[in-house]
Structure 1
Amino acid sequence: MAAKSKPNLPTATETAKPAQRPTAATPPAAVALLPATAGLNVLVFVSGAALMGLEIVGSRLLAPYFGNSVFVWGSLISLFLIALSLGYYIGGWLSDRRPSRVLLNSIVIVVAAMMFLIAATAAAVCDAVVRSGFGEKWGPFLAGAILFLAPSLGMGIVSPFAIRLAAQSVASVGRVAGTLYALSTLGSIAGTMITTFVLIPSFGATAILKGLAAALMLAAVATFPFASVGAAVRGGAVALVGLAACMWAIDDTRAAVPPGTTLVRELDTPYHHITVIDERTSGARQLKFDRFIESAIELAPPHRSKSLYTEYFHLALLPKPDVSRALFIGAGGGVGPRAFHAHDPAMEIDVVDIDQAVLDVARLDFYLEASPKIRTIAADGRMFVRNAPDGRYDCIVLDAFTIGGRIPFHLATREFFELCRRKLTRGGVFLMNVNSALRGDASPIFQSMYKTIDEAFPSVHAFALGLQYGLRDQSTNIILVAVNDDREITPQAWQDLAQQYSSTSYVDRQAVERIIADLVTELPDMAAAAIFTDDYAPIETMRFENR
């Protein structure tokens, strides 16, 4: 019998061959500026850099409307983590179904377009959120979600998608994943450092956003797998034209100057967006940090302060009329130091502000004299006080705020006030300006500051701007005055000291007598008020404005 023919069965070796996985290689006919693997690495690195650059500059976009509080940063960090979580999941799911390099690069191009859109719409979105009644707690989360959630989700897709494309086999997945996540992290570090230390001090937020978007777009186009050389030329040309159009069409966000005003100066710093504006009708000059007025003066000599609370700084000169050395923490427009210099030109005055540009503006635009008796120092207030000799100052004035009227928490603790007391001479005066109400739901900051200063000094006196007109529940400037000795200063004693006051500055005896009328003689119940320490100082979570 003829032998039966056997079917051709796979050998054991053939059976053991692993199934082939799709590779990261660009289709053979594709044309790209960089080889497939190098291009994928570049795309991952640039996406990581753009992601963190967007998060850092995002705080600058939100700050003019919601301040620079823990709520802003908590919202941004939460939103970006949410977006990354969703992006990682979607990127893994999508890459298993459509492991296409064209799709990945297209997603990155869309993300770059979204970032250009942020540059064009951020101000309108934030303004709409504020107008809708969302405050500083939930407003930044909503505005941040509208602006940043979609593009950051898109950048979250990149890493898992790239891993799927780059892995040649199961055996290489670990190495590929480790390499690409390392590149993404290095990109994030570069984006954070460059944005923080190079871009923000040199450019506005809109220009930075456009630069980040352009870098992302160029990376995506340069590594795009075009079907032919002609397609690459045409695609590159379209991308360059689109980039140029976006860069030209989207103007940098500049200060809105109302009719009847003149923009004197505008600049960005690592801490503020500073504008100096003259109001021709009222003859006043304003210093604004973002959209908040920090100082205002009359343009006509002697350039009196239009911010009335700064006249209350002269309360320090009542219990200590022979002040020879004074320290101002927080410069603003230099109004307080200038008035103290006019009061006594022989007084040595140190003006400390964390932002050198603020000190420069005080001299250039707000008439702070270039006197050897007035020393300006760019430094953190607490660090400067810590390094100052004990018993150096007769007077310390604390008038420091972050964007939106928040006191930096490290300048509002018992430990800091005790440090200030050590730097004062016997009988020296510590004076602090706070924005708060005396009682009601906008009073927690005043009450906590009063109790905290009272822990560090023998006694505290409060003067509330407008108290003589019945303002108690409304938010206002409250000046807290503490003296470094054990004497008791009664309301009558304050009046007597005001009668003895004389000055060559525009803050004359009549002004001081008016100020004395705002002495708080009936304190509210402060039993529930917290004493702030370096360990616990929730000042950023406290309301200081009336609803």
Structure 2
Amino acid sequence: MSQKPSKSTAPEAENAAATRGTRLFLGLSCFLAGAAMMIIEICAYRLLAPFFGNSVYTWTALIGVILIAFSAGGYLGGHLADRKMALDLLGWLLSGSAVLTFFIPALHTVFAAGLSAQGLIAGPVIISLLLFAVPGILLGAVSPAAVRFYSLTLKDTHVGAAAGTISMLGSLGSFVGTFLSGFFLLSTFGVRSIFFGTAALLLVLAVAAFLLAKNTLRQQAPVILSGLFAFFMSWMTAPKPKPGVIFEHESFYHHIEVSERTDGDVTRRVLQLDSTMEGGMDAKTGDLILPYQQYWKLALLREPAKVGSALFIGAGAFGMPENVSREFPEAAVDVVEIDPQVIEVGRKFFKLDEHPRVKAHAGDARRYLLQSGGKKWDMIFGDAYNGIRQIPPHLATQEFYQQIADHLEPKGVFIMNIIAAITGPKAELTSGMLATVRKVFPHVEVFAVGYRRDETQNVILMASREDLKPLIQDRYVQQGSWQESLIKTHVPKGTVPHASYVFTDDHNPVDAIIARGLLE
């Protein structure tokens, strides 16, 4: 005899399917919330860098604020889940973070420029609190709330398994968000678009939570309308292009901007990376237009006055390497530039393709030198420093300058451009760099491109194994010549304050020194 199926079988199967669906949604929510938080954090760095620099202080402020926000969110999510045991709690947390993420680009446009005057430490901390603290708290509250709801689907018999599953999925989401933003999103989309896309994803998750909680469309309408309003307001507050800007692009490393203006017969075309003018040229002739760019010619003070090979660390606007190539058509000129997009900009706007002897290499300078084997150059020019706000610390150490020395010809010279002062409180960077370079090169001379030596300006260091004094002080130069214009900016020995420390790979306080200089 066959038994009749129990009347409760169908409802039990339906409940089991609904429970599995709830668990799947909870896991997916934690995974995507973790991914969203890391996408916001990494892309936030590119949002802040144009105003606060690419320094360790920007990263420290950003990471610190988000960690505090996540901690507060964890506490909040646990308490809210005990008070409101319904899935629409996740809907409110996700929708709130979505709306605030939509607003991040707008708030950045309104406040970043003003807060940049607060310095390298206070500025990034304040802007991070303003933009990312509350979205971070709400996203941080998702996981503990989800643990509670996941445990309820197991009738609170496997609380440990629920916590472990949710924690695992949240961590995996953070991993995916980190790799996705670093290796794909930032190189493919603009930063504003990434924030909008992340916010839209969170809003879709919020709507799904409300549907699972059986909220009506009327109950969801305020959330959806709030998200649309936030998107519209943020879209309308997009920063307007500056006058004269002919190209803008967000790369993984920089906000790249090319601008142009006409001064008489000269069409000044300049390259700006984040907040710093990196170089320029006359768009018609390719002639150099910035005073510090002339200082590559210090290499011509020696005899014979010729450059057979040159390496430029940092492309700028390719004006100097192209100038070398014009002066010495047979010279082999290499340029190593960390950002491939800067090289593309050089091809499009700064005549790079017109100089086949100038070879541009995308990559880090130290890695490039390591892979170059025994190749040596007559001149190496270091210009990889991002204005007054940031110096890549690994390019400002005794070990790096030893690499430079190892790749110079015996009579070769190393010329370096930094942004600092010669005397006074803002001279700490110059004195530290000078002490570090002197650990490797026995002869180092200093040139100040500006007028007042206690003010921030282009400072040029020229280093060699040979005595440079005869090239600068003990020779006759024609009045009005380029030699005279460079030599007269020479800074006598003993003018720069003595530094008691040397920058090394192990200990390099260059970021702290820059921060102190900006406070001055």
- Normalising by the residue count of structure 1, what TM-score does the alignment of the two structures yield? 0.85
Pick the aligned partner of 1:481 from 462, 470, 474.
462
| Counterparts of 2:314 and 2:105, CA distance in 1 | 31
Gaps of 5+ in 2: 1-13
**1:166-188 deviations in whole A, cap 9, x for unaligned?**
11345401000000010001111
Distance 1:197 1:171, change over 3 A: same
| Counterparts of 2:388 and 2:103, CA distance in 1 | 26
Report the equivalent of 2:261: 279
Give the drift of 1:378: 0.3
Distance 1:71 1:135, change over 3 A: same
Give the drift of 1:306: 2.4
| Counterparts of 1:405 and 1:228, CA distance in 2 | 52
- 1:308 aligned partner, one-letter code: P
Distance 1:404 1:33, change over 3 A: farther
Give the drift of 1:237: 7.5
| Counterparts of 1:40 and 1:335, CA distance in 2 | 56
1:532 aligned onto 2:503: yes
Distance 1:294 1:256, change over 3 A: farther
Matches within 5 A, 1:354-369: 354-369=338-353
- Asked whether the equivalents of residues 417 and 456 of structure 1 are also in contact (C-alpha less than 8 Å), the reply is yes
Distance 1:157 1:203, change over 3 A: same
Which has the larger Rg?
1
- 2:406 aligned partner, one-letter code: R
**1:263-295 deviations in whole A, cap 9, x for unaligned?**
321111110011111124563212111232212
Alignment coverage as a number of residue pairs: 499
- Asked whether the equivalents of residues 475 and 545 of structure 1 are also in contact (C-alpha less than 8 Å), the reply is no
1:266 aligned onto 2:248: yes
Give the drift of 1:484: 2.9
Pick the aligned partner of 1:71 from 42, 51, 57.
57
The structure carrying a bigger helix percent of its residues is 2
- Asked whether the equivalents of residues 495 and 513 of structure 1 are also in contact (C-alpha less than 8 Å), the reply is no
Distance 1:465 1:142, change over 3 A: same
Give the drift of 1:458: 1.6
Matches within 5 A, 1:147-158: 147-158=131-142
Distance 1:298 1:323, change over 3 A: closer
1:109 aligned onto 2:95: yes
177-186 or 263-272, which deviates more: 263-272
| Counterparts of 1:32 and 1:144, CA distance in 2 | 40
Gaps of 5+ in 1: 1-27, 501-507
1:443 aligned onto 2:417: no
1:97 aligned onto 2:79: no
Report the equivalent of 1:305: 288
Pick the aligned partner of 1:515 from 481, 486, 507.
486
Report the equivalent of 2:324: 340
- 1:160 aligned partner, one-letter code: P
- Asked whether the equivalents of residues 262 and 280 of structure 1 are also in contact (C-alpha less than 8 Å), the reply is no
- Classify the secondary structure of the residue corresponding to 1:427: strand
- Classify the secondary structure of the residue corresponding to 1:80: helix
Report the equivalent of 2:370: 386
| Counterparts of 1:524 and 1:308, CA distance in 2 | 22
Distance 1:55 1:207, change over 3 A: same
- Classify the secondary structure of the residue corresponding to 1:134: helix
- Classify the secondary structure of the residue corresponding to 2:130: helix
Give the drift of 1:362: 1.7
- Classify the secondary structure of the residue corresponding to 1:60: helix
Matches within 5 A, 1:23-62: 35-62=21-48
Give the drift of 1:252: 8.4
- 1:483 aligned partner, one-letter code: S
- Normalising by the residue count of structure 2, what TM-score does the alignment of the two structures yield? 0.89
**1:202-225 deviations in whole A, cap 9, x for unaligned?**
111111100110111111212324
**1:51-80 deviations in whole A, cap 9, x for unaligned?**
111111111111111001111110111111
- Asked whether the equivalents of residues 331 and 352 of structure 1 are also in contact (C-alpha less than 8 Å), the reply is yes
- Asked whether the equivalents of residues 278 and 386 of structure 2 are also in contact (C-alpha less than 8 Å), the reply is no
Percent identity over the alignment is 33
1:408 aligned onto 2:392: yes
- Asked whether the equivalents of residues 48 and 184 of structure 1 are also in contact (C-alpha less than 8 Å), the reply is yes
Distance 1:344 1:135, change over 3 A: same
Distance 1:238 1:415, change over 3 A: same
Give the drift of 1:437: 0.6
- Asked whether the equivalents of residues 333 and 366 of structure 1 are also in contact (C-alpha less than 8 Å), the reply is yes
| Counterparts of 1:480 and 1:273, CA distance in 2 | 28
| Counterparts of 1:515 and 1:546, CA distance in 2 | 31
